[in-house]
């Protein structure tokens, strides 16, 4: 097993992953699965970003395309209008914030970084949806979150099948990582993609075996926040899934997660702080 990378260089700002980090989700969309995560006006975007930073977020993840199953397709132009406005606003008003753009489109990724000031590219398709994504990442050489998804948002939950969920995903990661590293990309973060082309059983098996993803020697990001695996297991609506999210995030931390991507920053930061105390002698 390779020793896991400890630092990420995000626009000259070093993120030390010795202590797990928290990424706050800012959805500039009208249809993300968790209604309370949606913000659209300048005032609401800035208020949400400010609150997340005050609550301890290390990274803000800006997304303008809902990837929930069955979501309406959004044109590149509309996605760009949403995310570019938000990134520019936050960069101007909160210049110390580290920003990630959540997109699978290379043109959106490029402009978000070069024209708007984002520091990280978060691609739910791992380069599968747009063949131009890897060349953009290679040219910009910014941190890249490589997420696994079987299928696409419209089809991913229609009977996803694996021989061995973790082994299959690790094989997929290995091919992508080799290409990126061969091109000189230095900072790669892997995300196994909870809920993206996985059944609930797949999700819980990945969580149990999450330590195996460390074999890649790269930081691991997990997105468990308010997911269907919580709602369906407990039989509760999305508004009541914060406690379940905290439980699963804590299990993920215990199994080697380096970054938690969440809707509720304050509670995730508290989980990290309490978990970190158990690691001290």
Say what the pLDDT of residue 150 is: 85
Share of the chain above pLDDT 70, in %: 91
Per-residue pLDDT tens digits for 241-267: 999 999 999 999 999 999 999 999 999
Contact 103, 48 (CB under 8 A): no
Domain at 7-276: CATH architecture: Alpha-Beta Barrel (3.20)
CA 76 to chain centre: 20
d(CA 64, CA 83): 6
Residues labelled catalytic: 227, 261
d(CA 6, CA 28): 31
Q: Which residue, among 85, 75, 96, has the nearest Cα to 28 in the 3D structure?
A: 85
Cα–Cα distance list, 161 to 31, 94, 158, 264 (Å) = 28, 43, 9, 31
pLDDT range class, residue 151, cuts 50, 70, 90: low
pLDDT range class, residue 6, cuts 50, 70, 90: confident
Say what the pLDDT of residue 164 is: 96
Q: Which residues contact 124 (CB under 8 A, 6 or more apart)?
A: 67, 102, 104, 147, 149, 193, 196
Per-residue pLDDT tens digits for 188-231: 999 999 999 899 999 999 999 999 999 999 999 999 999 999 99
Say what the pLDDT of residue 1 is: 55
Across 83-93, average pLDDT: 97
Name which of 39-48, 109-118, 165-174 the model is least confident about.
Answer: 39-48
Q: Which residue has the higher pLDDT, 26 or 2?
A: 26
Q: Name the 3-class secondary structure at 240.
A: helix
Contact 70, 95 (CB under 8 A): no
Name which of 27-31, 92-96, 230-234 the model is least confident about.
Answer: 27-31
Per-residue pLDDT tens digits for 57-82: 999 999 998 776 655 678 999 999 99
Contact 206, 194 (CB under 8 A): yes
Please, is 239 exposed, middle or buried when counting C-beta atoms within 10 Å of its C-beta (0-12, 13-18, 19+)?
exposed
Number of CB atoms found within 10 A of residue 114's CB: 13
Say what the pLDDT of residue 32 is: 61
If you average pLDDT over every residue of the chain, what do you get?
92
Say what the pLDDT of residue 71 is: 59
Q: Which residue, among 61, 39, 57, has the nearest Cα to 48 in the 3D structure?
A: 39
Question: What is the pTM for the complete model shown?
Answer: 0.93
Contact 113, 101 (CB under 8 A): yes
- Give the end-to-end CA distance of the chain in Å, rounded to a whole number: 25
Per-residue pLDDT tens digits for 92-125: 999 999 999 999 999 999 999 999 999 999 999 9
- Indicate the domain borders of the chain: 7-276
Strand blocks (E) in the chain: 7-10, 13-16, 21-27, 59-63, 99-102, 120-123, 144-147, 188-191, 221-222, 259-262
Share of the chain above pLDDT 90, in %: 80
């Amino acid at each position: 097993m390779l020793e896991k990378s400890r630092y990420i260089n995000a626009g000259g700002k070093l993120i030390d992953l010795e202590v797990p980090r928290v990424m706050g989700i800012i959805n500039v969309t009208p249809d993300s699965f968790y209604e309370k995560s949606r913000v659209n006006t300048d005032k609401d975007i800035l208020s949400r970003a400010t609150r997340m930073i005050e609550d301890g977020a290390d990274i803000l993840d800006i997304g303008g395309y809902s990837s929930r199953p069955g979501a309406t397709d959004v044109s590149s132009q509309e996605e760009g209008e949403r995310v570019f406005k938000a990134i520019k606003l936050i960069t101007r008003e909160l210049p110390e914030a580290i920003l990630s753009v959540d997109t699978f489109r290379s043109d959106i990724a490029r402009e978000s970084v070069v024209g708007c000031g984002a520091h990280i590219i978060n691609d739910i398709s791992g380069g599968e949806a747009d063949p131009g994504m890897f060349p953009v990442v290679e040219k910009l050489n910014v941190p890249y979150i490589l997420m696994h998804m079987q299928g696409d948002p419209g089809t991913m939950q229609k009977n996803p099948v694996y021989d061995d969920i973790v082994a299959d995903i690790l094989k997929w990661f290995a091919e992508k990582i080799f290409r990126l590293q061969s091109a000189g990309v230095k900072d790669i973060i892997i995300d196994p993609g909870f809920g993206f082309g996985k059944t609930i059983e797949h999700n819980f098996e990945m969580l149990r075996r999450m330590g195996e993803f460390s074999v890649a020697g790269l930081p691991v990001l997990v997105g468990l926040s308010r997911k269907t695996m919580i709602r369906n297991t407990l039989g509760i609506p999305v508004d009541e899934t914060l406690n379940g999210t905290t439980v699963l995030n804590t299990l993920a931390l215990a199994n080697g997660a380096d970054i938690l991507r969440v809707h509720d920053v304050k509670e995730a930061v508290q989980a990290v702080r309490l978990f970190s105390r158990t690691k001290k002698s």
